[in-house]
Amino acid sequence: MYQIQVETHSHTIVSKHAYSTLQENIKATLDAGMKGLCMTNHAPAIPDAPSEVHFTCLKYLPGEIDGIRFFKGAEANIIDYQGGLDLSNSILAMLDWVIASIHTPCLKPASMEEITNTYLRVLENPYVHCLGHIGQQSYLCDWEAVVKHAKEMGKIIELNNHSLEGIRPGAKELCTKVAALCKKHGCRVAVSSDAHYSGCIGNYKLVKEMLTEVDFPKELIVNTSLDTFEAYLKEAKQQF
């Protein structure tokens, strides 16, 4: 059985399509018996997101809240085919954990070659730790090339429970393929809920079923414990 101790992807009411406060998410993390929470709100390019002030002011929040280790993060948007993001490097450098994702309002679908190159360029960004929900039907890419480069660059591929809840067509098949490639190439992954509501924090049921299906090695999951997650962040700081 796969144990997850750190939620690596969560949103709060600073986006109007998310429905819980940070404090409610902290309580949900505690209630789920977990030890860490990454708050990764949408960066400014997506409609309904907070401005960059949300991210620059995270420095005023503590690193621990009610006994939960609190990681200050962002879900940055990939906004062009050169791998550009919607937060400056100086802001990204202030954060503990940065996910970079493609969202439809911020990047139009393109050829497989263009999307592959986009992800490869994002992986070169020293401030990005993780690629978010890459198993998207509208943004097909050469996952093997992306996973291999993520491994080379010491980056993380996200396996996102929210993607498997039927919101993204074909996601189960695509995400299973991504997980199998991560296993094949020894690329580390983060298991996340992508919670837009506190009740989803700690729910990794569908990802866990998928991991069992592909007999995914636990050692490649970066957030099975607070220690492994913190060790990864330390490693990333030295390496990037």
Q: Which amino acid is residue 98, in one-letter code?
A: V
Cα(199)–Cα(20) distance, rounded to whole angstroms?
9
* Exposed / middle / buried, residue 160 (Cβ in 10 Å: 0-12, 13-18, 19+): buried
In the complex, minimum distance from the CB of residue 51 to Zn ion, in angstroms, rounded to a whole number: 18
64 or 80: whose CB is closer to Zn ion? 80
CB of 238 to Zn ion, least distance (A): 27
**Beta strand ranges found along 61-199 (DSSP E):** 64-65, 68-77, 97-101, 130-131, 156-160, 189-192
Question: CB atoms < 10 A from the CB of 125, how many?
Answer: 20
Q: Closest distance between Zn ion and the C-beta of residue 74, in Å?
A: 10
In sequence order, which residues have a C-beta less than 8 Å from that of residue 205 and are 6 or more positions away?
Answer: 161
Tell me: does residue 86 bind Zn ion (CB under 5 A).
Answer: no
- 3-state SS assignment for residue 138: helix
Q: Which stretch binds Zn ion (CB under 5 A): 71-79, 106-114, 135-143, 206-214?
A: 71-79
Residue span binding Zn ion (CB under 5 A) among the ranges 28-36, 174-182, 192-200, 217-225: 192-200
Residue of 221, 229, 190 whose CA lies nearest to 10 = 190
Least distance (Å) from Zn ion to the CB of residue 109? 15
Max Cα distance, the chain (Å): 46
Quick one: which of 101, 163, 203, 223 contacts Zn ion (CB under 5 A)? Answer: 101
Q: CB-wise, 36 or 135, nearer to Zn ion?
A: 135
Contacting range for Zn ion; rule: CB under 5 A; set: 51-59, 96-104, 136-144, 205-213: 96-104
Number of residues that bind Zn ion (CB under 5 A): 3
Q: Determine, following the binding rule CB under 5 A, whether residue 193 of this chain makes contact with Zn ion.
A: no
The one-letter amino acid code at 2 reads Y
CA 56 to CA 174: how far, in whole Å? 35
Of these, 194, 202, 206, 208, which contacts Zn ion (CB under 5 A)? Answer: 194
Counting contacts by CB under 5 A, is residue 7 touching Zn ion?
no
In this chain, which stretch among 68-76, 113-121, 149-157, 172-180 interacts with Zn ion, using CB under 5 A? 68-76
Q: Which is nearer to Zn ion, 50 or 148 (CB)?
A: 50
Cβ contact 97:67 at 8 Å: no
Q: In the complex, which residues of this chain contact Zn ion (CB under 5 A)?
A: 75, 101, 194
